[in-house]
Copies of this chain bind each other. A is one copy, B any other.
Amino acid sequence: MDAFSTQTRHGEVCPLDTTLKILDGKWKSIILCHLMQQDLRYTELLNTLPGCTRRMLSLQLSQLITDQIIQKDIDTSFVPIKTSYRLTALGQSLVPVIQAMDQWGTDYIQTLAQDIQD
């Protein structure tokens, strides 16, 4: 047992909090949005994240790997090495949830924008 997000932050039983902890991290939301659409290499991912440092990308990726949401594929037949990242089966199962959250966020922003015009 090494997935670090199974314990809730407050000690109470709340699977919602487990899900939140897995997704929590400055860049994880966008990383997952991109990996949902296609597998990407480390540098490709970095280029889609302006402002994200290599250190942060590595940290976010390693946490997602620990939580078994994504996996790393290393192609050693190349020099320099090629690595790419893709969703695991567990990660795939999270996609509909992410899409629901993304859709709600879109509606939420839209609703607030309308309120301003009143």
Asked if A59 lies at the interface with its beta carbon under 8 angstroms from chain B, I say no
Query: Which of A27-35, A38-46, A78-86 is the interface stretch?
Result: A27-35
How many copies of the shown chain assemble into the complex?
A: 2
Out of B1, B17, B30, B93, which one reaches A104, CB within 8 Å? B93
Please report the C-alpha to C-alpha distance between residue A79 and residue B93 in the assembled complex, in whole angstroms. 51
Query: CB distance A12 to B49 under 8 Å?
Result: yes
> 11 pairs across A/B with beta carbons < 8 Å?
A8-B29, A10-B26, A10-B30, A10-B49, A14-B102, A15-B104, A16-B33, A17-B30, A18-B105, A68-B112, A94-B104
Out of B49, B51, B108, B111, which one reaches A19, CB within 8 Å? B108
User: Taking each of A1, A19, A93, A111, which has the highest tally of chain B beta carbons within 10 Å of its own beta carbon?
Assistant: A19
Q: Of residues 42 to 77 in A, which have CB atoms within 8 Å of B's CB atoms?
A: 49-52, 68
Residues on B with beta carbons closer than 8 Å to the beta carbon of A23 = 20
**A6-B112, A10-B26 given as contacts; is B93 within 8 A of A15 (CB)?**
no
Out of B6, B14, B90, B107, which one reaches A29, CB within 8 Å? B14
Out of B19, B26, B102, which one reaches A101, CB within 8 Å? B19
